[in-house]
Protein backbone atom coordinates (compact mmCIF):
# COMPACT_ATOMS: atom_id res chain seq x y z
CA UNK A 1 0.00 0.00 0.00
CA UNK A 2 1.15 3.44 -0.74
CA UNK A 3 -0.69 4.93 2.25
CA UNK A 4 -1.12 2.34 5.02
CA UNK A 5 -4.10 3.28 7.16
CA UNK A 6 -6.07 2.29 10.20
CA UNK A 7 -9.82 2.91 10.09
CA UNK A 8 -12.00 3.14 13.19
CA UNK A 9 -15.49 1.65 13.24
CA UNK A 10 -16.97 5.16 13.32
CA UNK A 11 -14.93 6.15 10.26
CA UNK A 12 -15.94 2.97 8.43
CA UNK A 13 -19.62 3.50 9.24
CA UNK A 14 -19.42 7.07 7.88
CA UNK A 15 -18.25 5.85 4.45
CA UNK A 16 -20.65 5.27 1.57
CA UNK A 17 -22.23 1.82 1.78
CA UNK A 18 -24.25 -0.49 -0.44
CA UNK A 19 -26.57 -3.42 0.21
CA UNK A 20 -26.07 -6.76 -1.50
CA UNK A 21 -28.21 -9.90 -1.56
CA UNK A 22 -26.32 -13.04 -2.50
CA UNK A 23 -27.17 -16.72 -2.72
CA UNK A 24 -24.46 -18.93 -1.24
CA UNK A 25 -24.31 -22.53 -2.48
CA UNK A 26 -22.04 -24.68 -0.33
CA UNK A 27 -20.17 -27.71 -1.68
CA UNK A 28 -21.64 -29.64 1.26
CA UNK A 29 -25.10 -29.41 -0.31
CA UNK A 30 -26.77 -26.54 1.55
CA UNK A 31 -27.56 -23.05 0.36
CA UNK A 32 -28.84 -19.81 1.83
CA UNK A 33 -29.53 -16.25 0.82
CA UNK A 34 -27.69 -13.56 2.73
CA UNK A 35 -28.16 -9.80 2.76
CA UNK A 36 -25.67 -7.33 4.14
CA UNK A 37 -24.81 -3.66 3.92
CA UNK A 38 -21.22 -2.51 3.99
CA UNK A 39 -18.60 -0.25 2.47
CA UNK A 40 -17.40 -1.60 -0.89
CA UNK A 41 -13.84 -2.87 -0.57
CA UNK A 42 -12.69 -0.76 -3.52
CA UNK A 43 -13.48 2.39 -1.52
CA UNK A 44 -11.14 1.36 1.31
CA UNK A 45 -8.46 0.26 -1.15
CA UNK A 46 -8.69 3.60 -2.95
CA UNK A 47 -8.01 5.37 0.37
CA UNK A 48 -4.95 3.20 1.01
CA UNK A 49 -3.67 3.39 -2.55
CA UNK A 50 -2.69 0.05 -3.99
CA UNK A 51 0.93 -0.33 -5.02
CA UNK A 52 1.40 -0.67 -8.78
CA UNK A 53 1.27 -4.33 -9.70
CA UNK A 54 -0.32 -5.39 -6.38
CA UNK A 55 -1.76 -8.90 -6.53
CA UNK A 56 -2.94 -9.52 -2.97
CA UNK A 57 -4.60 -7.61 -0.14
CA UNK A 58 -4.44 -8.57 3.55
CA UNK A 59 -6.69 -7.26 6.29
CA UNK A 60 -7.46 -8.23 9.87
CA UNK A 61 -10.97 -8.68 11.20
CA UNK A 62 -12.00 -6.91 14.39
CA UNK A 63 -14.03 -9.95 15.47
CA UNK A 64 -11.50 -12.72 16.19
CA UNK A 65 -12.95 -16.22 16.32
CA UNK A 66 -10.50 -17.30 19.00
CA UNK A 67 -11.54 -14.52 21.41
CA UNK A 68 -8.02 -13.11 21.38
CA UNK A 69 -6.66 -9.66 20.79
CA UNK A 70 -7.65 -8.20 17.42
CA UNK A 71 -5.07 -5.44 17.38
CA UNK A 72 -2.28 -6.32 14.94
CA UNK A 73 0.77 -4.16 14.42
pLDDT at 71 over 50: no
Q: Are 60 and 13 in contact (CB under 8 A)?
A: no
Q: pLDDT grade, residue 73 (50/70/90)?
A: very low
Q: Is the pTM of this model over 0.75?
A: no
The pLDDT score that the predictor gives to residue 65 is 59
* 1 closest CA partner among 41, 43, 54: 54
Q: How far apart are CA 24 and CA 22, in angstroms?
A: 6
Task: Tell me phi and psi for residue 20, to 5 degrees.
Answer: -135, 140
On average, the pLDDT of the chain sits at 81
Amino acid sequence: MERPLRISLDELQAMPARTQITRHDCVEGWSCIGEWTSVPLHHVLDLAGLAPGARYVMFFCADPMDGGNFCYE
